[in-house]
Amino acid sequence: MIKQDYSSLLIRILSILSPLSILILWEVMARVHIIDTRLLSSPSLILHAFIPLLLSGELLYNTAVSVQRVLWGFLAGSAPGIVLGIGMGLSPLIRSAFEPMIAATYPIPKLALMPLILLVFGLGETSKIFTIAIGVFYLVVINTMAGVLSIDKIYLDVAQNFGANRKNFYLTVALPGALPMIFAGLKLGMGMALILIVAAELSAAKAGVGWMIWRAYDMFAIEQMFIALITLSFLGYLFSLLLDALENWVLPWKKQV
Amino acid sequence: MAYEKESISVTNLSKIFHTTSGEITALQDISLSIGEGEFFCIVGPSGCGKTTLLRILAGLDSSSGGTISLKTTNVDRPINSMVFQEQSIFPWMTVIDNVSYGLRMRNIPKKERYEIANHYIEMIGLSKFTHAYPSQLSGGMKQRVSVARAFANDPEILLMDEPFGALDEQNRILLQHELLRIWEEARKTTVFITHSIDEALCLGDRIMVMSANPGMIKTIITNDLPRPRKISEIRTSLQYNQLFQSIWQILRDEVTNSKANSSTEEKSNY
């Protein structure tokens, strides 16, 4: 018992200590010129660059632009993904109509579609949102279908025996039964959205965290690039926290397992 | 025991499953009549089609021939509710939402259905767990919720498919007690499937013994052990022992026969 407490304390200390020591090591190596600060910068230089970028509102503005694109793309991809995934899980007809198509197009890297998306939707916001949406859609639809298919058949019998109509069947059995897998899909989709936002902002963007990275590359402003990278990591962490909170709220029955 | 009204009538019912290795006759020539308010037990070796018969009565499976008719006395009441053998309460609903599920499907307002559900939750002794999720309940408690869900739905007929089969001895006796108590209050027509002769004798008014391959009615025995029954008392009675022996004799022949059949089948496969 005591040993366990000791090790859990150790784990907590280590998980703070190890990234901290890497930062210190980075800073020291930069100061003694072991590493080239023009390429790899240093924690103190990044902090110096961070403050004006934050105070001027530039960082917040670019973050807000990207967050907006991620959220719209995430919604536009996950909502049809959930609806189609449930349909495919419940109906063999819908499944056989869509599954081959989805299986065939899923392996295409979504980035490879960017030029086509730009041609179709132009250079505006729609193309960026669509790129993210399509990446999220695949992960959500596949997971939702698997979630519905994994619902124990006994629950379908119960719903039928107790006279559930179609609407009630969706609301009381299909959707709640598939929700744990839907959330797994949403979490994967959120990771995908963050990957795609950077790529989507590579071409024809005038703002955004991804755009900041590419502009920093063009201007050789390494500190700004690191700040944008840290912002992305922070966004990823924040989104996963939000999804976890949403999951705990929507799936109270899973929490206690 | 004679019943004034008939609740379930089955005539020449059959069920054939088409499998890759040919046709399997699960039920053949089943005809029976169950009275209103009767507790009807079905025992038989595994594979005798007793679950299939119940699923057809529940409308979850179709028959291959014959007719069934379930009488309704009140159009507002559901015809049947089933208590399943395996864990069947929704893990994503609290105890009270599980118990009131059938009422919700019939659009009964929340306040009213919770009142009814609370009554049955109290009856099964789970008041402390009204708003708990099934993951917090033991196997026996989950099966209690399943029984309460069926009773709360107030159906014309209760269908129970070995509801206590997966429980340990102590829990099974406790739940049999509770079921008897609730049933004696409500006197609902009940069809109860079990593989236990003892359970059938403790609960049933009549006991139908089935044979396997194909599933047919072997005999129907009237169990006139007096009600209200106390399980601990009836087990020691002479009448219980005589009934037990006569059912066991029929079942023993059935089980040994079906074993002999299946072993010759196995041999002929080689």
Sequence-ordered list of residues with C-beta below 8 angstroms from that of A137, at least 6 positions apart, any chain = A77, A78, A80, A81, A189
Contact B105 A158 (CB under 8 A): no
pLDDT at B263: 56
Assigned token pair, A43 = 């924690």
User: Residue B82 is nearest to which of A161, A173, A256, comparing CB atoms?
Assistant: A161
User: Chain A closest CA to B17's CA: distance in Å?
Assistant: 19
Q: Would you kindly state where each structural domain of chain B is located, as residue ranges?
A: 1-79+156-257, 91-154
Assigned token pair, B184 = 């004696």
SS3 string, chain B, reads CCCCCEEEEEEEEEEEEEECCEEEEEEEEEEEEEECCCEEEEECCCCCCHHHHHHHHHCCCCCCEEEEEECCCCCCCCCEEEECCCCCCCCCCCHHHHHCHHHHHCCCCHHHHHHHHHHHHHHCCCHHHCCCCHHHCCHHHHHHHHHHHHHHCCCCEEEEECCCCCCCHHHHHHHHHHHHHHHHHHCCEEEEEECCHHHHHHHCCEEEEEECCCEEEEEEEECCCCCCCCHHHHCCCHHHHHHHHHHHHHHHHHHHHHHHHHHHHHHHHC
Sequence-ordered list of residues with C-beta below 8 angstroms from that of B132, at least 6 positions apart, any chain = B94, B95
Q: Hey, of A157, A161, A183, which one would you mutate to test binding to chain B, going by the most B CBs within 10 A of its CB?
A: A161
Return d(Cα A51, Cα B155) in angstroms, integer.
70
All domains in chain A, ordered by first residue = 64-205 (1.10.3720.10)
Return d(Cα B42, Cα B194) in angstroms, integer.
6
Contact B60 A162 (CB under 8 A): no
Choose which CATH entry (3.40.50.720, 3.40.50.300, 3.40.120.10, 3.20.20.70) describes domain B1-79+156-257: 3.40.50.300
Name chain A contacts of B75, Cβ cutoff 8 Å. none
Ranges under pLDDT 50 in chain B: 266-270
Q: Hey, of B82, B84, B92, B191, which one would you mutate to test binding to chain A, going by the most A CBs within 10 A of its CB?
A: B92
Beta bridge partners of B6: B35
Return d(Cα A206, Cα A181) in angstroms, integer.
37
Return d(Cα A131, Cα A125) in angstroms, integer.
10
Q: What are phi and psi of A176, to 5 degrees?
A: -65, -35
Name chain B contacts of A158, Cβ cutoff 8 Å. 82, 84, 88, 90, 101
Q: Which residues of A touch B (CB under 8 A)?
A: 154-155, 157-158, 160-165, 168, 172-173, 176-177, 179, 251-253, 256-257
User: Residue B105 is nearest to which of A164, A179, A252, comparing CB atoms?
Assistant: A164
Assigned token pair, A40 = 């790899």
Look at residues B267, B227, B225 and name the one whose alpha carbon lies nearest to residue B242: B225
Q: What is the pLDDT along chain A (257 residues), one digit of tens a residue?
A: 455 666 888 888 888 899 999 999 999 999 999 999 889 999 999 999 999 999 999 999 999 999 999 999 999 999 999 999 999 999 999 999 999 999 999 999 988 998 899 999 988 899 999 999 999 999 999 999 999 999 999 999 999 999 999 999 999 999 999 999 999 999 999 999 999 999 889 877 889 999 999 999 999 999 999 999 999 999 999 999 999 999 999 999 986 44
In chain B the first and final C-alpha atoms are separated, in Å, by 51
Count other C-beta atoms under 10 Å from residue B68's C-beta: 16
ipTM of the complex in this document: 0.88
Contact A155 B153 (CB under 8 A): no
pLDDT at A1: 47
Count other C-beta atoms under 10 Å from residue A217's C-beta: 13
Contact B84 A163 (CB under 8 A): no
Return the residue of A nearest to B56 by Cα: A161
Return the residue of A nearest to B95 by Cα: A253
Contact B78 A163 (CB under 8 A): yes
Name chain A contacts of B153, Cβ cutoff 8 Å. 162
Return d(Cα B131, Cα B138) in angstroms, integer.
15
pLDDT at A230: 95
Q: What are phi and psi of A22, to 5 degrees?
A: -65, -40
Look at residues B79, B94, B213 and name the one whose alpha carbon lies nearest to residue B153: B79
